[in-house]
Amino acid sequence: MVKVRDLGLGFNSDEIVLFKYCSGSCHRTRSNYDLTLGSLLRQQLISPGPRERVLSHPCCRPTRYEAVSFMDVQNTWQTVEKLSAAECSCIG
């Protein structure tokens, strides 16, 4: 449960909404790509640039989203599409 104004989307509202997100490990679904990338990184045969973050495993990400509706301080209903995670899966 978070305040709408804390979502960082520029909406001025004191309402509280349910923001569902994905988290968790995806190590069980690692592919040959993930295994090879991890090995090359450990051996320092490849290295990311100074501002890059290389992940050698799939990421738990939303695969389906839900819209969230709320009333702003102007008493106007707002709907934000694809805001909250409805389903999650290992992607990558």
- What total of structural domains would you count in the chain? 1
The parent domain of residue 50 ranges over 2-91
Report residue 82's pLDDT band, with 50, 70 and 90 as the boundaries: very high
The predicted model scores a pTM of 0.71
Contact assessment for residue 50 and residue 82, using Cβ atoms and an 8 Å cutoff: no
Task: Report how far apart, in Å, the C-alpha atoms of 22 and of each of 54, 81, 87 are.
Answer: 19, 17, 8
Please give the structure tokens belonging to residue 46: 């490849």
Give me the CATH number covering residue 18.
Answer: 2.10.90.10
**pLDDT tens digits for range 1-54:** 999 999 999 999 999 999 999 988 887 777 888 888 888 888 988 888 888 878
